[in-house]
C-alpha cells in the first residue's frame, strides 16, 4: 500500500542566519558571499521539492502497478470488484498526488518567503552600516576642513606681517640702490661727456680728405652688400678718376656703369660736380652720383646738376637701385646712345621737378618715421622686459617666503632627512 510522502521544509539553520554569518557554519563572510549562499540554499530547497515530487510520482507509479496487478489477479473472481477497487485506488492516488504536490508547493513558497525576508533584513542592516560610516567620514572631513581653515588664517596673518616687513625692507633697499645707480650714472655721464668732447676735438682736427675717405669706405661697403652680383671697386687714392666705380653685370656681361664721389665738407663747391662730370665722361659711365651733406642754396636731399646727381649719403643706395634698374631696362631695349642720352636727360629733368621732390620728401619723412617707430618699439620692448623681469623676481621671492612660512607652520622644516 502507498505511503504519504514527507513534507519538505527549510533547514533550521537557514532561518536563524545572520547578516554577516554563514547560514551553515556560522563563520563571518562578506555581504556578497552571504547573498551567494542564500541563492544556493534557495536553489537546493527548490531542487529538494522537485526530488520529493519525483519520489512521490515514482511511489504512485509503483502503487498503481501493484493495484493493477491485484486487479488482474482478482479479475477472474470479481471483475466488478476489481474495477471498483481500481477506481477507488485511482481516486485515492489522485488525491494523494494532489496533496503531495500542494505540500511541495507550500514548502517551496515558505522557503522563498524566508529567503526574501532574510535578504531584505540583510540589505537594511547593510544600508544602516553604510550610512553610519558615511556620517562618520563627513564629520571627520568637516573637522579637518575647520582645522585647515584655522591654519590658513593663521598662516595668512603671519604671511601678511612678513610680507609687510619684506616690502618695507625692499623699498628701503630699492631707494638705496636707485640712489647708487643715479650716482653711478652721473659719474658715467661725466666720463662720457669728457670722451665726447675729446672725440669732437679730434674730429675737428681731421682733414677733409680723411673725412671724405671714411664716407667713401662706408659707401663702398654698402654698395658691395646691396649689389653682390655687380663689380664694385675703389679707385686708388692719387689715381685720376672717381672714388668708386660700379659696373652693372648681367649673366657675366657688363651692361652699364655708375661712378661715385664722396665729400664730407661743411660748404658746397661747384667744382665737386665739375670734377665728377669729367671722371664720368672719361670712364664713359652712364651716371655719376655725388654723395654729400652740403647742398647748393635751395637744394636738399637730391638734385641733378650738369649731368651729375647730388644726393644725401643716406639716400645713395636707393638712388643706385633706381639708376641700376634704368640701365638694365635701356640695355634690354637695345637703345642707341642718342636714345639713351635722351632718356637720361628726361630722367634728370624729372629729378629736378617738384613732383619728384615731393615724392622723395615723402619717402624721406616716412623712412624717418619708420626708423623712429623702430626705436620706440625697441625701447618699449626693453621697458616691458625689464618690468616683467622685476615682477617675476618679486613673485618668485614672495612664493619662496610663502612656502617657507607654510612649511614652518606644519613643521616640514623640522622633519628628518630621508635615509
* Percentage with pLDDT > 90 across the chain: 5
pLDDT (tens digit per residue) in 242-275: 889 999 998 888 989 999 998 877 788 888 889 9
Higher pLDDT, 283 or 157: 283
Lowest mean per-residue pLDDT among 6-15, 162-171, 218-227, 320-329: 6-15
pLDDT (tens digit per residue) in 364-392: 677 777 767 777 777 777 778 778 778 77
Rounded Cα gap, residues 331 and 339, in angstroms? 11
* Closest by Cα among 325, 326, 321, 318 to 364: 318
Res. 209: pLDDT tops 50: no
Q: Report pLDDT for 59.
A: 85
4: which 3 cell numbers? 504519504
Q: Report pLDDT for 130.
A: 76
109 plus 16 within the same structural domain:
yes
Residue 28's DSSP bridge partners are: 21
Q: Tell me how far apart the terminal alpha carbons of the chain are, to the nearest angstrom.
A: 89
For position 280, which CATH number holds?
3.40.1350
Q: Report pLDDT for 212.
A: 42
pLDDT (tens digit per residue) in 66-123: 887 876 776 677 667 656 666 777 788 788 888 888 887 887 888 788 878 888 888 8
Q: Report pLDDT for 260.
A: 94
Res. 179: pLDDT tops 70: no
Residue 312 domain flag: yes
Residue 146 domain flag: no
Res. 208: pLDDT tops 50: no
CB 223 within 8 A of CB 320: yes
Q: Report pLDDT for 198.
A: 58
Q: How far is CA 256 from CA 233, 239, 240, 336, 343, in A?
A: 14, 22, 20, 13, 14
Residue 87 domain flag: yes
Rounded Cα gap, residues 403 and 313, in angstroms? 61
Average pLDDT score over residue span 135-140: 80
Say which residues have a Cβ less than 8 Å from residue 409's Cβ, sequence separation at least 6.
151, 154, 155, 158
Residue 172 domain flag: no
Residue 104 domain flag: yes
Residue 74 domain flag: yes
Q: Report pLDDT for 257.
A: 92
224 plus 305 within the same structural domain:
yes
Residue 394 domain flag: no
Length of the chain: 419
Residue 303's DSSP bridge partners are: 310
Q: Report pLDDT for 231.
A: 92
Lowest mean per-residue pLDDT among 218-232, 282-296, 405-419: 405-419
Sign of the CA dihedral 139, 142, 148, 149? negative
The residue ranges of DSSP E strands in 264-311, in sequence order, are 287-292, 302-305, 308-311
Average pLDDT, the chain: 75
4-19 residues labelled b (16+ CB within 10 A) or e (exposed): ebeebbbeeebeebee
Of the candidates 78, 103, 136, which is a domain's last residue?
A: 136
Residue 257's DSSP bridge partners are: 247
Residue 297 domain flag: yes
> How many structural domains comprise the chain?
2
215 plus 297 within the same structural domain:
yes
Average pLDDT score over residue span 28-47: 83
Higher pLDDT, 183 or 262: 262
217 plus 346 within the same structural domain:
yes
Higher pLDDT, 159 or 359: 359
339 plus 212 within the same structural domain:
yes
Res. 410: pLDDT tops 70: no
Res. 28: pLDDT tops 50: yes
Rounded Cα gap, residues 95 and 345, in angstroms? 142
Higher pLDDT, 12 or 267: 267
Of the candidates 318, 352, 386, which is a domain's last residue?
A: 352
Of the candidates 352, 376, 397, which is a domain's last residue?
A: 352
Burial of 287 (0-12, 13-18, 19+ CB in 10 A): buried
* Closest by Cα among 262, 319, 315 to 291: 262
pTM: 0.40
20: which 3 cell numbers? 554577516
Give the structural domain span for 340. Answer: 208-352
108 plus 212 within the same structural domain:
no
Amino acid at each position: 500500500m502507498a505511503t504519504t510522502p514527507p513534507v519538505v521544509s527549510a533547514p533550521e539553520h537557514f532561518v536563524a542566519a545572520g547578516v554577516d554569518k554563514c547560514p551553515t557554519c556560522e563563520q563571518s563572510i562578506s555581504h556578497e558571499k552571504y547573498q551567494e549562499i542564500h541563492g544556493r540554499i534557495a536553489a537546493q530547497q527548490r531542487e529538494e521539492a522537485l526530488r520529493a515530487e519525483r519520489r512521490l510520482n515514482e511511489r504512485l507509479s509503483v502503487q498503481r502497478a501493484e493495484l493493477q496487478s491485484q486487479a488482474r489477479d482478482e479479475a477472474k473472481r470479481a471483475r466488478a470488484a476489481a474495477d471498483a477497487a481500481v477506481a477507488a485506488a485511482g481516486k485515492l492516488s489522485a488525491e494523494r498526488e494532489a496533496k503531495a504536490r500542494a505540500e511541495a508547493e507550500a514548502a517551496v513558497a515558505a522557503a522563498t518567503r524566508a529567503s526574501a525576508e532574510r535578504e531584505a533584513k540583510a540589505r537594511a542592516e547593510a544600508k544602516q552600516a553604510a550610512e553610519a560610516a558615511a556620517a562618520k567620514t563627513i564629520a571627520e572631513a568637516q573637522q579637518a576642513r575647520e582645522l585647515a581653515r584655522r591654519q590658513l588664517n593663521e598662516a595668512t596673518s603671519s604671511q601678511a606681517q612678513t610680507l609687510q616687513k619684506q616690502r618695507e625692507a625692499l623699498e628701503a633697499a630699492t631707494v638705496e640702490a636707485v640712489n647708487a645707480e643715479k650716482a653711478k650714472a652721473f659719474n658715467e655721464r661725466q666720463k662720457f661727456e669728457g670722451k665726447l668732447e675729446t672725440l669732437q676735438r679730434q674730429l675737428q682736427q681731421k682733414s677733409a680728405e680723411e673725412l671724405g675717405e671714411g664716407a667713401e669706405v662706408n659707401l663702398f661697403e654698402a654698395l658691395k652688400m646691396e649689389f653682390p652680383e655687380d663689380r664694385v671697386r675703389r679707385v686708388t687714392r692719387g689715381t685720376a678718376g672717381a672714388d668708386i666705380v660700379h659696373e652693372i653685370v648681367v649673366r657675366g656681361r657688363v651692361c652699364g656703369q655708375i661712378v661715385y664721389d664722396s665729400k664730407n665738407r661743411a660748404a658746397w663747391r661747384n667744382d665737386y660736380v665739375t670734377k665728377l662730370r669729367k671722371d664720368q665722361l672719361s670712364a664713359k659711365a652712364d651716371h655719376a652720383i655725388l654723395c654729400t651733406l652740403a647742398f647748393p642754396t635751395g637744394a636738399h636731399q637730391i638734385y641733378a646738376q650738369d649731368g651729375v646727381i647730388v644726393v644725401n649719403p643716406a639716400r645713395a643706395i636707393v638712388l643706385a637701385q633706381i639708376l641700376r634698374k634704368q640701365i638694365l631696362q635701356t640695355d634690354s631695349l637695345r637703345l642707341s646712345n642718342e636714345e639713351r642720352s635722351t632718356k637720361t636727360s628726361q630722367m634728370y629733368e624729372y629729378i629736378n621737378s617738384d613732383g619728384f621732390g615731393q615724392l622723395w620728401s615723402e619717402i624721406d619723412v616716412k623712412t624717418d618715421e619708420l626708423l623712429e617707430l623702430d626705436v620706440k618699439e625697441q625701447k618699449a620692448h626693453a621697458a616691458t622686459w625689464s618690468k616683467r623681469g622685476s615682477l617675476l623676481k618679486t613673485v618668485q621671492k614672495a612664493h619662496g617666503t610663502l612656502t617657507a612660512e607654510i612649511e614652518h607652520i606644519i613643521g616640514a622644516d623640522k622633519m628628518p632627512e630621508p635615509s
